[in-house]
């Protein structure tokens, strides 16, 4: 499948407030949002594109004219340090698209897909040591159960974790489809018929392998700190855990009073740092979901620095 950026039009419309400014795409991926962003900016604007997947980054770099974009192989959790190294004090817009790149999903050997047989991997940064293989074959049952429940919201987490441990006691679990069969054996038949029974387990393992929620929690305050006044932070999420984290951060930073609710008069002198632009998240329309099914669960939230 070709790379299709999700919610590209509304995202870039919200993101760009200064056509001559400095913008950072924290998740360059296949460059779909990046290409649209460049059409909205003057030649003098500066654009920085990050991705922790070196393979994807190099593939995307080839699409763009040299010198128009600064490509950096890095994890967005280190945003402040990256900008310091580039000599950038502040930016006018930050985009964080938390979806898995089509390049990663469509390369079976990366081990992200529960439809293709491959070695258990799921690393976005192939330089890191820990892969899904290590989690499935080495983590204790209780820890597996916890991540399946917490990161996958998988109601059959105890049964799946137990089945994984029982299977690996007989021999290592090597491939994605081996894991799928273990999951199928652990859940009721009706659950297998609803949607793919591996989807939540694979999501949970991917989040754990790549530390995705930790990275999101780390980057949000850094993004706020480096935004110019009036600058925009746009975040596209794909599951409820991410969306909840972004929503709560925006709410917390947009509050102008942090006094206890029972206190009749405000004495805190607290000042809001963000203005929420999208009171409800922007979601894809039917047409986009039709030509890009992976967009169905996407939600875009936008806030502006005060």
Q: Which tops the pLDDT comparison, 62 or 282?
A: 282
Task: Decide if pLDDT at 271 tops 90.
Answer: no
Contacts of 117 (CB under 8 A, 6+ apart): 108, 175, 176, 177
Residue 266 forms beta bridges with which residues? none
- Mean pLDDT in residue range 129-142: 96
Q: Residue 192: its pLDDT value, please?
A: 85
For residues 279 and 294, what is the distance between their CA atoms, to the nearest angstrom?
24
Q: Residue 17: its pLDDT value, please?
A: 96
Task: Decide if pLDDT at 278 tops 90.
Answer: yes
- Mean pLDDT in residue range 257-275: 83
Contact by Cβ (8 Å): 259, 266: yes
Q: Which tops the pLDDT comparison, 227 or 267?
A: 227
Q: Residue 105: its pLDDT value, please?
A: 67
- The whole-chain average pLDDT of the chain stands at 92
For residues 83 and 53, what is the distance between their CA atoms, to the nearest angstrom?
19
The three-state secondary structure class of 201 is helix
Q: Given pLDDT bands bounded at 50, 70 and 90, which one contains residue 3?
A: low
pLDDT tens for each residue of 180-238: 999 999 999 889 888 899 999 999 999 999 999 999 999 999 999 999 999 999 999 99
- Mean pLDDT in residue range 287-303: 91
Residue 51 forms beta bridges with which residues? 73
Residue 233 forms beta bridges with which residues? 94, 303
Domain boundaries for CATH 1.10.150.170 within the chain: 129-209
CA 170 to chain centre: 35
Of 172, 100, 181, residue with least CA distance to 136 = 172
- Mean pLDDT in residue range 5-26: 96
Task: Decide if pLDDT at 106 tops 70.
Answer: no
Domain 129-209 has CATH 1.10.150.170: yes
Task: Decide if pLDDT at 78 tops 60.
Answer: yes
Q: Which tops the pLDDT comparison, 300 or 267?
A: 300
Task: Decide if pLDDT at 59 tops 50.
Answer: yes
Task: Decide if pLDDT at 102 tops 80.
Answer: no
For residues 104 and 97, what is the distance between their CA atoms, to the nearest angstrom?
14
What class, spelled out in words, does domain 8-103+212-305 have in CATH?
Answer: alpha beta
The three-state secondary structure class of 199 is helix
Task: Decide if pLDDT at 1 tops 70.
Answer: no
Q: Residue 50: its pLDDT value, please?
A: 96
Contacts of 66 (CB under 8 A, 6+ apart): none
């Amino acid at each position: 499948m070709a790379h299709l950026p999700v919610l590209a039009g509304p995202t870039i419309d919200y993101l760009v407030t200064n056509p001559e400014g400095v913008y950072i795409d924290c998740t360059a991926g296949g460059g779909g949002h990046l290409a649209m962003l460049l059409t909205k900016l003057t030649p003098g604007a500066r654009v920085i594109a990050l991705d922790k997947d070196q393979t994807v980054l190099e593939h995307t770099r080839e699409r763009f004219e040299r010198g128009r974009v600064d490509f950096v192989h890095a994890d967005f959790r280190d945003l402040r340090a990256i900008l310091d190294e580039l000599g950038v004090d502040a930016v006018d817009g930050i985009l964080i698209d938390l979806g898995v790149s089509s390049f990663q999903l469509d390369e079976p050997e990366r081990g992200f897909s529960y439809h293709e047989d491959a070695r258990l991997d799921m690393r976005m940064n192939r330089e890191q040591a820990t892969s899904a293989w290590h989690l499935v074959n080495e983590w204790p049952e209780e820890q597996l159960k916890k991540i399946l429940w917490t990161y996958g919201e998988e109601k059959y987490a105890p049964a799946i974790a137990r089945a994984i441990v029982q299977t690996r006691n007989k021999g290592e679990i090597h491939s994605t489809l081996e894991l799928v069969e273990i999951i199928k054996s652990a859940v009721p038949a009706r659950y297998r018929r609803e949607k793919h029974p591996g989807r939540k387990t694979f999501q949970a393992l991917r989040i754990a392998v790549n530390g995705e929620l930790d990275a999101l929690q780390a980057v949000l305050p850094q993004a706020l700190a480096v935004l110019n006044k009036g600058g925009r932070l746009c975040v596209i999420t794909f599951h409820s855990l991410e969306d909840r984290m972004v929503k709560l951060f925006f709410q917390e930073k947009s509050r102008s009073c942090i006094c206890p609710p029972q206190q009749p008069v405000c004495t805190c002198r607290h000042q809001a740092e963000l203005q929420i632009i999208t009171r409800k998240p922007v979601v894809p329309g039917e047409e986009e979901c039709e030509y890009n099914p992976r967009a169905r669960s996407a939600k875009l939230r936008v806030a502006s620095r005060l």
